[in-house]
Amino acid sequence: MRHQIPLIVVFITGVLLIVTFFIPHEPFGGLEQRFLIWYSIVAGFTMLLGLDSLTRYHLVKVRNQKSGWGYSIVLLLGLFLTLVLGFYSWAKYQSPFALGSPFMFLYTYVIIPLQATMFALLAFFIASAAYRAFRARTTEATLLLVAAVLIMLGRVPLGGWLWHRIVDLVDLIPGTHLAGLKNLEIFARINDWIMDIPQTAAKRGIFIGATLGGIVMSIRIILGIERSYISGS
């Protein structure tokens, strides 16, 4: 029964939602809306589940003094402080996001700098990784490298600046008048072409493949063939 009831619930819900998509009239339309509201409520509770799981994991780690347990204390303190400030701001300012609330202070001066710093570090790692790993070893790697360099130039004003300097240099040759070519913005145009044609074609292929995979997986789940989402199956 532990396995059969979830399979029946999934089957009925899946079939009903497909029907309601194609027949949006009553009673199906109202039924779909009800399902969507339930989904939103369930999604809210999954956050509580995540909170419970995270807290338990780190409490156990601290209790057993496993490697890195000091970081777990920092995490638990941060979690507790954020919760307290969030609830306090909610009670006093009607929303944690109200400007001037203690939660917004924490958000502005701790969360924003921390998240921005983590993301900003990527610039350093990408520069180092590009230098070490981006080698034209094969034809495919060379194509990728050339495309990456052209995109990096075309995506920023440096490309335009460089193109203007190239035209100016060529113009120094007696008898050449290429000033009109400055508006061509060759690097930006190459960037647009790469993004519009080969990139989009590849993305579309990936999307179609992934979507077909998603449809197949959905049918397998609705029909009960794929059961890995049920614990213990």
Partner 1 sequence: MKFWDRLGAIDRRIIYTVIGLAVIIPLVTKLTFPIRVSDTVRSAYHSIERLPAGSIVMISIDYDAASGPELQPMLIAVLRHCFKKDIKVILTGQWALGLPLGEIALNQVAAEYNKKYGVDYINIGYRPGYTALIVGIGRELRDFFSTDYKRVPIDSFAFMRRVHNYNDINLLVGLEAGATGDAWVLYAGARFGLKMFFGATGVSAPDLYPYLQAKQIEGILAGLQGAAEYETLVNEKGTGTLGMPTQSVVHGLIIIFIILGNLSYFVLRKKQK
Tokens 């990936």 sit on residue: 206
Total interface residues for partner 1 by CB under 8 A: 65
Cα 49 to Cα 123: distance, rounded to the nearest angstrom? 35
Piece of 2-10, 71-79, 98-106, 215-223 that binds partner 1 (CB under 8 A): 98-106
- The verdict on 39 binding partner 1 (CB under 8 A) reads yes
Judged by beta carbon, residue 19 or residue 148, the one nearer partner 1 is 148
DSSP 107: I
Angle at 109 between CA 62 and CA 95, to 5 degrees: 90
Shortest approach of partner 1 to residue 44 CB, angstroms?
4
Cα 59 to Cα 2: distance, rounded to the nearest angstrom? 31
Contact in structure between 68 and 78 (CB atoms under 8 Å): no
Piece of 61-69, 170-178, 193-201, 213-221 that binds partner 1 (CB under 8 A): 193-201
Q: How many helices (H) and strands (E) does the chain have?
A: 9, 0
Q: Which amino acid is at 138?
A: T
Cα 230 to Cα 6: distance, rounded to the nearest angstrom? 8
- The verdict on 49 binding partner 1 (CB under 8 A) reads no
Piece of 51-59, 73-81, 151-159, 171-179 that binds partner 1 (CB under 8 A): 151-159
Chain contacts with partner 1 (rule: CB under 8 A)? 29, 32-33, 35-37, 39-44, 46-47, 93-99, 104, 107-108, 111-112, 114-116, 118-120, 123-124, 126-128, 130-132, 134-137, 145, 148-149, 152-153, 155-158, 160-161, 185, 188, 192, 195-196, 199-200, 203-204, 207
